[in-house]
Each structure stands twice: as C-alpha cells, then as structure tokens.
Amino acid sequence: MRTVDYDLVAAAYDKRYERNRYDGVQACLHRFVGAGGDIEVVEIGCGTGHWLADLHGRVRTVAGLDLSSAMLRRARTAAPSAYIVRGRAEQLPWASSGFDRMFCINALHHFTDRDAFMLDARRVLRPGGGILIVGLDPHTGLDSWWIYEYFPAALQADLARFPPAAALRAQLRAAGFSEPVTELAQHIPAAVPFAAAVESGIVDRHATSGLMVLSDAEYEQGLQRLRADQPILRADLRLYATVATVS
C-alpha cells in the first residue's frame, strides 16, 4: 500500500465539494462547536481549508494543521483569518490546554500513529473540551463503491487504514477521553455514467486516496476493466462522526 502524497492532490482536491454535498458533516461540525462563538478550535488534517473557512465568524479562533505544503498554500487563501501551520498530527506544535475543540474530517486514516495523535490531542485540549473525528467505516459491510468493485485492493487498504467505530472509541478512551459516541453523519449515494466520470476526472489516479494507495499494476488492471465495461459508477457510502470529551 502506497503512502498518499497530498502535494500531488492539492490542485484538484476541492472538486469533491463540487461533486458531493456534505450537509450532514457540516451540521455535525456546527453542533460540535456550538453557537456561543467564544471558543478556540483547531482542525487536524485541514487540507485546503474548506472547513476552516466554514467556521469563519462562528468561533473566536480557528487554527489548522496539515503536513502537505501544497494543501496549506490553498488553505491560507481559503481561510485567511485562520492560524495555519505545517506539522504532524502525532506531534502537535501547541502548548497544553490550548484549545476548546479539535476536529478531524476525513484525515485520521492518513495518520501514522493514531494512538500518539489521540494522546497529544488530549494534551492540547482544555478540560471540558472535545474532539470530533469524521470518516468512513468500511468494516460495517454496509457500503458499496465502484472503487471497491473494480479495484479490490482499495477495499483491503481501507480496511487497514480506517478503524472500526468501536476500535476508534476504545482508542479515545485509552487516551483519556470520556463518553465517546458515534453517529451517522452523512449518507453519500452516487451514480455517474462512465463517460461523464472520465470527463470530470473521477477515475483519475489523484481523484481520491483510495486510488492513490494502489500499486501501478493494481490501478491499471482496474482501469482496463472499467474501460471494457464502461459501467455506471455507483457509490453508497456513509461517513460517521465520533465525539468524545475531556473530563
């Protein structure tokens, strides 16, 4: 399984927000930060700054961290009022008890050491604060995705990259968080004809990390099958939100 280089993805990354609505994720995030406004919030794995920009004006301070320089250049444009730094999730560059809320949307599966991240997240959050983690859970068996059908190695990679929700909650408890709860945040169905998918770049290698983790041979084999079948590319995916608190 290859490591994803997000410097190669940055230019096209925000197309996902054009192709799919993330109203459910947005609603979860807004509930998580609340309506009071007088809090300091940080996103780990902020990417191009989509969610940082979404929180502008809702909270007192918003900060973001990512390892990709190319993604961060776009984040600084998208969210100019945010405090943005380059760094690793496992070694957060902030003092203890510096934030009230921390969130991580579709990024945890890229962290090299989830336990180290959660321990450091607990350190950085203030008493009474909280963490929100949003991502897939391919272990449920509920999801279907054309990528899993035509690139079966992608499913095996995702089963390794994404923890089951129960395991995620256990990791949070082990790191010192309390009351972890998981809920369905977003249901994402899709059906795109093959020709339209090619034109819009959906089958491009850099369209999603699910394709970028594949070997060249695995990607080419799946692409050949797609070209031969020219199917409607169907997806039925679910994003889950797990929230835990700092006692």
Task: Tell me the pLDDT tens digit for each residue of 128-180.
Answer: 999 999 999 999 999 999 999 999 999 999 999 999 999 999 999 999 999 99
Q: Given the structure tokens 């082990």, which residue do they identify?
A: 174
Residue 206 vs residues 16, 55, 73, 189, 239: alpha-carbon distances, Å? 12, 27, 18, 21, 21
Average pLDDT over residues 9-35: 90
Q: Which residue has the higher pLDDT, 11 or 114?
A: 114
Average pLDDT over residues 238-245: 98
Lowest mean pLDDT among 9-23, 170-184, 233-247: 9-23
With a pLDDT cut of 70, the percent of the chain lying above it is 100
In this prediction, residue 206 carries a pLDDT of 87
Which residue segments constitute the domains of the chain, with CATH numbers given?
10-137+162-189+238-246 (3.40.50.150)
Closest CA to 127 of 177, 164, 170: 177
Average pLDDT over residues 222-245: 97
Average pLDDT over residues 223-237: 97
Average pLDDT over residues 195-223: 93
